[in-house]
């Protein structure tokens, strides 16, 4: 199969240089070698520190990785049975529709448009859209300041959609393939601000190599209810994942994963969402 994986060299270099945040997951490798019995293929982000990150040594870390690993275990899969696959924002529905992944845990907001194509378990996290600007830039203090600015977001994300339809229709929106590419642009002053969920932006801002360089706006521009994407109509899997998420919250594993992955970035997360309840 293989979806297009072309990424700007700079972004690859950046993604590789990102250091891991939080505790490591004991997730398996990326090769999908199916040697001993059943495997499960899970879509995650590869370039979002604190959420879903492939580290230079080939490990996978982040809150989504920990949630996915917990859910997989409840479904009967050991970490070694997990095959991780990159799920970029614009590719998520297609990956599920083509059966390239079993489920997706990739900062994937539940919304009506996506629900036409896929189903969602959860939600398991409530985040909010925000902006990241250079630390010395005081020209963006409220959302409307984004109009006429060069704003970066990612193709296929709710963040890009929100900018176009309501937040700052006059902004010069650049849509890149991944957030790490936006970050490179922000650092190099090719763009003025990048926008996506505060959970993701906090992870970038906390990276050692970026300390003191960027700041979050703190705008809470939207509610982003992270769900676990499954194939449309796969109610059995959705129900099993919902049960796993309930258990993850009840036994304290959710809180542990939050602290391990968001703690280093100082991200103030919302309390665990109620399963089946999307906050609009």
The least distance separating ligand GLU from the CB of residue 52, rounded to whole angstroms, comes to 9
Alpha helices in 45-178 (DSSP H): 63-74, 92-97, 112-115, 158-162
The CB-of-176 to ligand GLU minimum distance in angstroms stands at 11
Residues in Cβ contact with 256 at an 8 Å cutoff, skipping those fewer than 6 apart: none
- Footprint (CB under 6 A) of ligand GLU, residues 140-169: 154, 157-159
Phi, psi of 258 (to 5 degrees): -60, -50
DSSP SS3 for 241: helix
Tell me the residue nearest to ligand GLU as measured from the CB. Answer: 157
With CA atoms as reference, report the closest residue to 257 among 71, 46, 128, 108. 71
Q: Residue 222 interacts with ligand GLU (CB under 6 A)?
A: no
Which listed residue (224, 257, 261, 265) binds ligand GLU by CB under 6 A? 224
Q: How far is the CB of 158 from ligand GLU (least distance, A)?
A: 4
Nearest to ligand GLU of 7, 157 (CB atom): 157
What residues from 101 to 140 belong to the interface with ligand GLU (CB under 6 A)? Answer: 106-109
To the nearest 10°, report the CA torsion of 197, 202, 203, 206.
160
**Smaller CB distance to ligand GLU: residue 77 or 108?**
108
Give the nearer residue to ligand GLU in terms of CB position, either 43 or 264: 43
- Name every residue whose Cβ is closer than 8 Å to that of residue 139 and which is 6 or more positions away in sequence: 145, 149, 192
Closest approach of Cβ 98 to ligand GLU, in Å? 19
**Interface positions, 20-79, toward ligand GLU (CB under 6 A):** none
Interacting positions 80-99 with ligand GLU (CB under 6 A): 89
Minimum Å gap between C-beta 258 and ligand GLU is: 17
Closest distance to ligand GLU from the beta carbon of 197 (Å):
5
Give buried/exposed letters for 44-53 (b at 16+ CB in 10 A, else e): bbbbbbbbbb
Q: Which residue has the tokens 């859910």?
A: 71
- Give 77 or 228: the residue with its C-beta nearer to ligand GLU: 228
Nearer to ligand GLU, 69 or 196 (CB): 196
Distance CA 179, CA 184 (A): 9
Whether 63 and 34 have beta carbons less than 8 Å apart is answered as no
Which of 175, 197, 198, 242 touches ligand GLU (CB under 6 A)? 197
Contact between 195 and ligand GLU per CB under 6 A: no
Report if residue 196 touches ligand GLU, rule: CB under 6 A: yes
Closest distance of CB 226 from ligand GLU, Å: 7
Q: Which of residues 77 and 151 has its CB atom nearest to ligand GLU in the complex?
A: 151
**Exposure class string for 149-168: b at 16+ Cβ within 10 A, else e:** bbbbbbebbbbbbbbeeebb
Cβ 102 to ligand GLU, closest distance in Å? 19
- Do residues 143 and 163 make contact, with C-beta atoms less than 8 angstroms apart? no
DSSP 242: H
Let me know: does 110 contact 227? Beta carbons within 8 Å.
yes
Q: List contacts with ligand GLU (CB under 6 A).
A: 89, 106-109, 154, 157-159, 196-197, 224
């Amino acid at each position: 199969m293989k979806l297009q994986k072309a990424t700007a060299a700079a972004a690859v270099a950046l993604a590789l240089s990102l250091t891991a945040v939080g505790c490591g997951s004991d997730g398996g490798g990326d090769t999908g070698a199916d040697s001993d019995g059943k495997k499960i293929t899970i879509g995650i982000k590869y370039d979002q520190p604190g959420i879903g990150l492939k580290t230079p040594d080939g490990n996978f870390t982040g809150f989504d990785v920990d949630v996915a690993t917990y859910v997989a275990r409840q479904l009967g899969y050991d970490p070694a049975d997990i095959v991780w696959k990159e799920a970029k924002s614009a590719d998520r529905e297609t990956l599920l529709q083509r059966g390239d992944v079993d489920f997706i845990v990739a900062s994937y907001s539940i919304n009506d448009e996506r629900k036409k194509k896929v189903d969602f378990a959860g939600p398991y996290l409530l985040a909010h859209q925000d902006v990241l600007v250079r630390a010395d830039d005081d020209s963006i203090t409220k959302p409307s300041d984004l109009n006429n600015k060069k704003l970066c977001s990612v193709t296929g994300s709710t963040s890009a959609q929100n900018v176009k339809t309501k937040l700052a229709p006059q902004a010069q929106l650049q849509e890149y393939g991944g957030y790490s590419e936006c970050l490179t642009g922000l650092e190099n002053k090719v763009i003025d601000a990048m926008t996506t969920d505060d959970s993701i932006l906090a992870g970038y801002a906390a990276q050692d190599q970026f300390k003191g360089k960027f700041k979050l706006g703190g705008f809470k521009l939207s509610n982003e209810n992270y769900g676990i994407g499954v194939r449309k109509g796969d109610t059995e899997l959705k129900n099993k994942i919902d049960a796993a998420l309930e258990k993850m919250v009840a036994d304290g594993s959710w809180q542990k994963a939050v602290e391990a992955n968001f703690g280093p970035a100082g991200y103030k997360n919302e309390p665990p969402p109620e399963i089946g309840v999307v906050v609009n």
